[in-house]
Amino acid sequence: MSISGIFPIDKWDFKSESVLADLPPDVLASLTANKTEQVYKKGEIIFREGSYPSGIFYIAEGKVKKYKLDNDGKAHIIYLANTGELLGYHAILSEDRYPDSAAAIEESRIAFIPKSDFLETLEHSDILSRRLLKTLSHEFAVLANSLNMFAQKSVRERLALQLIVLREKYKVNFQAGMPVEINMSRDDLASMVGTAREHVVRVLSEFKEDRILETRGRKIIVLDVNKLIRIADLK
């Protein structure tokens, strides 16, 4: 089922895929004049926190996790980017190093757009400038909501919320009534929820007992998104 109208997905999910959608042909041609594409294997690094950006990345196909490392070298996932989304432009706009790292969470086809092409197109395109500004504002709101959620919600509620968001990202040729398979390791899911792996495994088992979902290996199949919405308790 669609969750439109019953769950505020835009409060929890970035929408950078709208930046390049239906751009005027001349603007898109200028932006992508020198783009290159590369296929990244699952787990392969796209860019590392602290390195200097030489361009931006566009996910032509696949999914990418953005994460930060703590002092112990443990990764904390801050966002899962989907097909159609942009990566790396924040560092270029701020003229700074990458604030986080990015790695493919599944085999992904990624386009690279040189920094010079991005900045030149941005300078001459009001529509691209407005879209990026709108996207940055939305991302700030999503991060603020996420920080509030981590401070106030239980592990059970946070996991329910992340499963709702991931269900939207993993929809492929979706039709009403179809189950949605989330293909993600328990370690990555625990990182997104902000808890230990064993806590995620325990709560997933509880959700299975309640017929909210089922699992097949690492895959999680959401059966009842309405129950997840009630557990997330986002009143």
Q: Could you count the other beta carbons within 10 Å of the beta carbon of residue 103?
A: 20
Q: What is the pTM of this model?
A: 0.85
Q: Could you read off the pLDDT of 37-71 as tens digits, one per residue?
A: 999 999 999 999 999 999 999 999 999 999 998 88
Nearby residues of 70 by Cβ (< 8 Å), 6 or more positions away = 76
* 1, pLDDT greater than 50: no
Res. 171 pLDDT band, cuts 50 70 90: confident
Query: Which domains, ranges and CATH numbers included, belong to the chain?
Result: 9-149 (2.60.120.10), 154-232 (1.10.10.10)
* 194, pLDDT greater than 80: yes
Q: Could you count the other beta carbons within 10 Å of the beta carbon of residue 235?
A: 3
Q: Nearest 5°: phi and psi at 113?
A: -115, 120
The pLDDT score that the predictor gives to residue 17 is 65
Q: Could you read off the pLDDT of 100-150 as tens digits, one per residue?
A: 999 999 999 999 999 999 999 999 999 999 999 888 887 888 777 777 777
Helix (H, G, I), strand (E, B) or coil at 81: strand
